[in-house]
Amino acid sequence: MIETSFWHYGLAALHLLVCLALAVYGIHRYALVYLYYKYRRNAPRKSACFLHKPRVTIQLPMFNEQYVAERIIEAACRVKYPRDRLEIQVLDDSTDETVQIARRAVERMQAEGHPIVYLHRDHREGYKAGALAEGLKTATGEFVVIFDADFVPPPDILNELIDHFVDPRVGMVQARWEHINREHSLLTKTQAVLLDGHFVIEHAARNRSGRFMSFNGTAGAWRRACIEEAGGWQHDTLTEDLDLSYRAQMKGWRFVYLPEVTSPAELPPEMIAFKSQQHRWAKGGAQTCRKLLPGILRSRLPWRIKVEAFFHLTSWVSYFLMVVLTLLLFPILYLKTHVFGGIPMLRYAFDGSLVLLATCSASTFYVACQRELFRTWAESLKYLPFLMSLGVGISLNNARAALEGLAGKASEFVRTPKFGVADQKDAGWREKTGKQRLDPKRVQAWCEFGLALYLAVCVAYTIHMKMWIGLFFMSLFFIGFAYVSLLTFYGQYQAARAGGGELKPRPADTAAETVFPDRH
């Protein structure tokens, strides 16, 4: 055994602190599951129906959505609602062939008698939030329903949502997302489970227990007066939906979540698109936390709302913790075998912390949500190991995004690429990756691959030292980073091949860093 030193104890203490912090966020997941089951019967019910249907505006924000623009326009026009009480706005900021596609689709729908208008901006000021705010200037609806371009709203959705606004205190009603291409690949299946956890457990637990929940940017309806009283759509964060949600609820407006009302959408079928989406959500979440959390904690809101808001708005912290934990794995393995091998408590702290971290809270949370949706345990259990691996593998991408958000680094609203996936077996999307001009972020991909190699060494060392308890969880870390990095490289290759040359970042991705500063 090597003689212990201050640095040995310091590394061990840092590792245990990181695991403890992660365990706290894991306990929060337990709390959400508890709240869900405690308040599961507290489902919102319509107290009455509108005698005369109020006027509604459906907004369809889009930017370079050539593969899905026509689909969402047609789906919005199929929504059942009195035509003299409905207005549909296509809010198009596109700079490519989407302009012609969307305009032709709108003209065709107008000729069929649908109350739809096409509004095109020649700039992207404020990005999605700016487009929604611009649309409100001419909107005639008392209520506003928003659908992103990759959604396919069912015909009855508006009638399912609107009567909840009979209660004058209700400011927003959110439907649950479903997934057109859930069974398309291992990646989409795992994403579906991740989102199901958010929509089935988190939203219901928060909403039904009287805590703050968030609008998810789409598949929801707003009372226009609520938007205006809360300060309107603001574009100083990349998650304008989360920002407005908290501002509205702090003003006293009630939100309603309807998990039984669903709207299907397309999940990103390839890794670069998925990472782009996660990057925007993580960065926007950190920006919103920086903007609103201090005021929430200083407010006179009930403590239960403050605590839940803290965990909700600081969820990005777990990405930093996961990256630090990953970097500490080999030093801790070495300390366990060569320094603290004779101290049983420290010897097994490593294995015990990983078991606590990687199994209990995540398993309970995601198994519960799948059980509620599909009434079976078996279907969800087989995806749990890979779900945890993907959560680890995406941590560097999301930690980088959150760091940018905290530092106030500006960037454009990079939309999630959509490929117009029509069903579970549609494989034609690969031919479209070259036209999407995805941002490859090669340096980050190589860092992720480097972490995969580092973790492969950790796995080999674990096997060599016969530390079987930690081997399974060490393998999850390795698989996560290997899967994310290799699929990123494969996505770059496919996009470059489809585009007929080397894949390069879009000029706007760099120009936006100075063109559009954050306004905190």
Of the candidates 92, 93, 196, 236, the residue annotated as catalytic is 93
CB count, 10 Å around CB of 12? Answer: 22
Which residues are CB-contacts of 129 (< 8 A; sequence separation ≥ 6)?
Answer: 233, 234, 235, 240
> What's the number of CA atoms in the CB half-sphere (13 Å) around residue 451?
32
Task: Let me know how long the chain is.
Answer: 520
122 is catalytic: no
Interhelix angle for 442-464 vs 317-338, to 10°? Answer: 30
CA distance 179 to 189: 9
The structure tokens listed for 379 are 């279907």
Please report where in the chains the tokens 């939203």 appear, as a residue.
203
**Residue 120 parent element (H or E):** strand 116-120
CA distance 378 to 374: 10
The structure tokens listed for 396 are 């560097």
Of the candidates 241, 243, 439, 518, the residue annotated as catalytic is 241
156 is catalytic: no
The structure tokens listed for 485 are 């990095």
The structure tokens listed for 314 are 């600081």
Closest by Cα among 195, 413, 398 to 282: 398
Which residues are CB-contacts of 447 (< 8 A; sequence separation ≥ 6)?
Answer: 396
Q: Are 455 and 481 in contact (CB under 8 A)?
A: yes
> What's the number of CA atoms in the CB half-sphere (13 Å) around residue 184?
25
Please report where in the chains the tokens 């609520």 appear, as a residue.
226
The structure tokens listed for 103 are 């305009």
Burial class (CB in 10 A: 0-12, 13-18, 19+), 159: middle
* Phi, psi (deg, nearest 5) at residue 56: -130, 140
Longest dimension (CA), the chain: 83
Please report where in the chains the tokens 């989406």 appear, as a residue.
277
The secondary structure of residue 519, as a DSSP letter, is -
CA distance 76 to 82: 13
CB count, 10 Å around CB of 107? Answer: 12
3-state secondary structure of 151: strand
**Residue 87 parent element (H or E):** strand 86-92
Residue positions annotated with a catalytic role: 93, 241
